[in-house]
Amino acid sequence: MTGSITIDVLAIIALCFTIYLAKRNIVVNHYKNRIYILLSVITIALLLLEIATVLMAQSNSSDLVIPHRIINILGFSLSPLFPFLFLFFYNTREKVKYRHNYLTIPLYINALICILSYHTGWVFFVDGQNQYYRGDFFLLPTLVGLFYFVLIIAEARNTAAWKMEQRKYLILALFIPILGVLLQILYSHILIIWGCVAIYLVLFYILLRELQYKYDVQTGIQNRTAFQHEM
């Protein structure tokens, strides 16, 4: 568990660095830049929640039961929010508003069940000795998140603005957090999901910087250098 905390801290430092760079230099355009920063902030928050759960799980104090449950509620409720917001990269504001209503339904259902788990133990349970257990619906937040990841892959494949090699890079990089999810499901003592997500965000930032080189930030039109390269 100490190794997990170390990885999380390093991931937070890396994300803080990319946030700083994104604020100094707009990547692609202002809209996508704001989304990237928001995704990084959410990931940092989830990494901090993960660190808190690791530290609390090391104690048997009954005084930590309530905060331990609350932190798990926040973590499980917020986890599908990352892939949901990532979909905004492939949509205009108008399209996002149109699709927003029905795409948020899984988020609300997941959040409700996670909140009810405080007493029911559906997703998780923390007993009177502050011991954590997985519930019968433990996979619900993961399945909701994977649903959004499938939509992300579909959108990435169909995004006309990006070249084929850029789409392949993005889709291959997506398998890093997906692999982290699968490993954490199989091995409960391994906590690597949000560390993998942080790695993905750093790789995605590199891709955005490449796109910035090829497209004008203000207009989104391919610049002269990229156009001449294509010719």
231 in a domain, yes or no?
A: no
End-to-end CA distance of the chain: 53
117 in a domain, yes or no?
A: yes
220 in a domain, yes or no?
A: no
Segment among 66-70, 164-168, 176-180 with least mean pLDDT: 164-168
Confidence of residue 227 (pLDDT cuts 50, 70, 90): very low
226 in a domain, yes or no?
A: no
Full residue range of the structural domain in which residue 152 is found: 2-215
| Joined tokens for residue 101 | 């209503």
Q: What percentage of the chain reaches a pLDDT higher than 90? A: 43
Amino acid sitting at position 55: L
Q: Cα angle vertex 79, ends 69, 106, to 5°?
A: 105
143 in a domain, yes or no?
A: yes
Give the CATH number of the domain where residue 112 resides.
1.20.1070.10
| Joined tokens for residue 12 | 């937070």
Amino acid sitting at position 98: Y
Number of domain units in the chain: 1
227 in a domain, yes or no?
A: no
| CB contact at 8 A, 156 and 163 | no
DSSP H helical ranges for the chain: 2-24, 30-57, 65-78, 81-86, 93-103, 105-120, 140-158, 164-186, 193-214, 224-230
Model confidence, pTM:
0.84
For residues 66 and 64, give the distance between their C-alpha atoms in angstroms, rounded to a whole number: 6
228 in a domain, yes or no?
A: no
Please write the tens of the pLDDT for every residue from 72-116: 999 999 999 999 988 887 665 555 555 667 888 999 999 999 999
119 in a domain, yes or no?
A: yes
